[in-house]
Amino acid sequence: MFPIKDLWQCILLWVVTLIVMIVFVLYRRYTQKQFSKVYNDEKIHNLRTFEDGQYFYQAPYVTMDKQYIPILGHKTMYYTANFNNIIQKWISITGFFPLFGVFVKSDNYTVKIKRIKFWSLHAHYEVYLDNTYIGSLRMQKLFKEKGMKQQLPFIFDSNKGVYQFNNPYFSMKTVILKDNVEVFSAERSFFDMSKSQVTKRRGERHNIRVQKDNENTYPDEVLIALYIQVMLNKRTENNG
């Protein structure tokens, strides 16, 4: 006969699991609705004047699917998490194993970054510009490639050359170099609960500057997508 004590433990476990699932679904719907509202609110685009190559976005504390997060600047742009399939999506948003990619869309371009080599210790991604493969983004090996010397040891190996990420320890500034020339820089906020004056919402803030005097490089959307992917990797996989 099934022990009454074990029966009650099973019922309690089932109830707790059900409550957790309900809370997760409700929070998922809430955050999707909130970021859709931000993206559709054209007023925030008028609160700040952006120069050519200057951008701002605010990342959510928790990354979910269908969060359309505006990237403010002189272009209309947004990003959202990208997944190769539904299994990858659910094991990512539930926190079981983060395999997030990134999708960036503007009026002119779309950039898709897809996670590959799921079980590798070093993150690998394929990068597509308007559905055309342009290169791979990967994390450097800690010892062989001296990846442990900085926070974000990533390289974008593309058909226009190699782009190197650099972010020293204890620094909130990230730069991207091509042929030792800075083509991109970004400053992120330290973790805090204050609201942004631009979006009136909480979240990690990123101020971006894309250098416009560098020839033979990609559209701003590509560099921004690469940066967002590296930041997302840092937050979800390294708990940074």
Contact between 188 and 206 under an 8 Å Cβ cutoff? The reply is yes
Q: What integer pLDDT is reported at residue 214 of this predicted model?
A: 63
Cβ burial, residue 138 (10 Å; 0-12/13-18/19+):
buried
Angle in degrees, CA 73, 152, 116, rounded to 5? 90
Q: What integer pLDDT is reported at residue 109 of this predicted model?
A: 96
d(CA 78, CA 110): 10
Question: Whose CA is closest to 55, among 36, 70, 41, 35?
Answer: 70
pLDDT tens for 145-190 read: 555 667 788 999 998 899 999 988 888 899 999 988 899 999 988 7
Block mean pLDDT (10 aa), the chain, length 240: 62 69 62 59 59 87 80 87 85 78 94 88 90 93 61 90 90 91 89 60 84 78 96 70
Which domain covers residue 94, as residue numbers? 4-237
Q: What integer pLDDT is reported at residue 209 of this predicted model?
A: 94
Contact between 60 and 35 under an 8 Å Cβ cutoff? The reply is yes
Q: What is the number of domains present in the chain?
A: 1
**Tokens encoding 53:** 């190559």
pLDDT tens for 107-119 read: 899 999 999 987 7
> What is the DSSP secondary-structure string of 154-195?
EEEEEBTEEEEEE--TT--EEEEEETTEEEEEEEEPPS--PB
Question: Whose CA is closest to 39, among 83, 90, 79, 84?
Answer: 79
**Tokens encoding 212:** 């416009």
Q: Residue 51 contacts by C-beta under 8 Å, 6 or more apart in sequence?
A: 74
User: Residue-wise over 41-60: b if at least 16 C-beta within 10 A, else e?
Assistant: eeebeeeeeeeebbbbbbbb
Q: What integer pLDDT is reported at residue 239 of this predicted model?
A: 46
Q: What integer pLDDT is reported at residue 60 of this predicted model?
A: 80
Tell me which amino acid residue 6 is: D
Distances from the Cα of 240 to the Cα of 162, 169, 190, 204, 237, angstroms: 25, 12, 11, 11, 8
